[in-house]
A and B are shown apart, each in its own frame.
Chain A
Amino acid sequence: MSLEPPLQTYLDWRAAGNFIAGGTGTGLLLVSAAAALLGVGGSLPAWLALLSVAAGLSLVWLEIGRPLRFLHVWFNPHTSWMTREAMLAPPLFAAGIPALIFDWPPLLGVAALIGMAFLYCQGRILYAAKGVPSWRSPRTVGLIVTTGLCEGVALFVVLAALRSPGFAPLTAGVALLLALLGVRAWVWRNYLEKLDAPRATLAVLARFNACFLLLGHALAGAFALLALLWPAQTRVAGILAGLCALLAGWALKFVLVTRAAHLQGYALDRSPARSAGSAGPGVRPGWD
């Protein structure tokens, strides 16, 4: 029997889907609310944002073993970040839907702030999972929040570019995306460099790293720069930049939740003393 830390299989693509859709949705809601408050946005991005969050929560509902008991998820707000995330969902929709129906940007702003708290909870959910070293890193929360914001802005840029030529928030969105790409790349590098995890986890993340940085940041950043510097191609370059940044963020969360999620594994501080001898070295299979 191998004692190497196994890959966790309890939270699968459906859980990853919640982190993906929830992060993108709340990020998109924030930038949509900001645009609405500035009087330059339409309601479509915000509707999509709410739909995205709802889709993520639905995916989680599909994953739980006893779906009919879903209301029990609200029973432990004292310590469970999953409960806190679930408790934020009703006020998020209660503020967001009327804000869009009655076109009231300040209420959409309130919904966006609730969405940020929702996104923070998602980061804390992973951080609290002590059994998975790649999740319990203190840098996980920052990574989840940053990529959620980045994905939201990326999707906003795509939607803005598709809307009509000369749509005012597009250029601002692209500039914001460029800045967030820089922040995400920095947060990711910081996370990866200081990560203490099983060999298998580090190997998965090392393979993912190059692709994530090249396609999700270098290429996305190049397209974003092109969009800013070449007004005639702003829409096309903006769409490409947004898609690269968006898909990279989704890939990051999918990999983190389903592929680079090896459990802690077993360890012995020291092996027992034999007869009159002394204790031997410890062992931690699967770790360097």
Chain B
Amino acid sequence: MSRYVMVADLNRCVGCQTCTAACKHTNDTAPGVQWRKVLDMESGEYPEVRRTFVPVGCMHCAEPPCMHVCPSTATRQRPDGIVTIDYDLCIGCGYCMVACPYQARFKVMHRSQAYREGRMKIEREREHEERRAVAQKCTFCVDRIDAGLAKGLTPGVDPEATPACANACIADALIFGDIEDETSLVAILLKNNAHFRMHEELGTQPGFYYLGGDE
């Protein structure tokens, strides 16, 4: 059984936000909504200060608190570990948004409109009415994965079957793949490098790993 995960190499990430732009372009997210973003974090004290760029988003947890609290079963987990939202079931209660410890979920109540005079063509054409007033988040570009698998492609290897953020990364800092496949790049990276996950103490078992710290 596949378990898709994302690996972010913190030594490679340069904080260019290309993944953020690629995600927005691919998924038509509304202004202010970033399913994928890169944090600029400082740690330590002068003169031992470090700056780290940290890609974040939905962690596609193995134990997703958002799914457990969802009253409508709109949030589900596929057998391959990807956590999805059924926009037609979601009631937009916002409970999942306070259950997620990664600030990965968004709710947009109003249609995008940059100018008072009216909506632009791009706003009309790329509007996702089904996402209005319900929860939304990163899907690991699940439609690309499914379409790619249907063509016999391998997610994480073939760009056509790989999330847009990982495809777009200029530094190969974002790597996507099947952790259950020992020959996949993510499995090899995690086997050979020290890694950690964010907020592991909360028991969510995130499917998003960070490389870059020794043990």
Residues of chain A having any CB pair with chain B under 8 Å: 1, 3, 6, 8, 10-11, 15, 60, 63-67, 69-70, 72-76, 79-83, 86, 125, 128-132, 135, 261, 263-274, 278-283, 285
Contacts and interface: CB of A to CB of B under 8 A. Distances in A.
Given A10-B98, A266-B198, A272-B52, A75 B93 contact: no
A75 B73 contact: yes
Given A82-B69, A128-B65, A270-B213, A3 B199 contact: no
Contacts of B67: 79
8 contacts: A1-B39, A65-B109, A75-B71, A83-B71, A266-B54, A271-B10, A271-B50, A272-B50
A58 to B, nearest CB: 14
A212 B40 CA distance: 39
The 5 closest A-B pairs by CB, nearest first: A65-B92, A272-B212, A65-B133, A10-B94, A283-B43
A81 B56 CA distance: 28
A130 B65 contact: yes
B144 interface: no
A63 B52 contact: no
Contact of A281 (B43, B68, B98, B202): B43
A55 B196 CA distance: 46
Interface size class of B (residues with CB under 8 A): 35 or more
Contacts of B196: 269-270
A280 B74 CA distance: 40
Contacts of B103: 6, 131, 263-266
Interface of B: 10-11, 39-44, 48, 50, 52, 54, 56, 65, 67-74, 89-95, 97-103, 107, 109, 132-134, 194, 196, 198-200, 202, 204, 210-214
A8 B134 CA distance: 16
Given A66-B133, A72-B74, A285-B41, A129 B98 contact: yes
A218 B194 CA distance: 54
Chain A contact residues: helix, strand, loop or mixed: loop
B73 A280 contact: no
A272 B198 contact: no
Contacts of A271: 10, 41, 43-44, 50, 52, 212-213
Given A10-B107, A65-B132, A86-B71, 14 more contacts: A3-B39, A64-B93, A65-B109, A75-B73, A129-B65, A129-B98, A130-B99, A131-B103, A268-B43, A272-B11, A273-B11, A274-B11, A280-B50, A283-B44
Contacts of A261: 98
A280 B99 contact: no
Nearest to A83: B71
A6 B97 CA distance: 13
A130 B107 CA distance: 18
B94 A76 contact: no
B40 A272 contact: no
B65 A72 contact: no
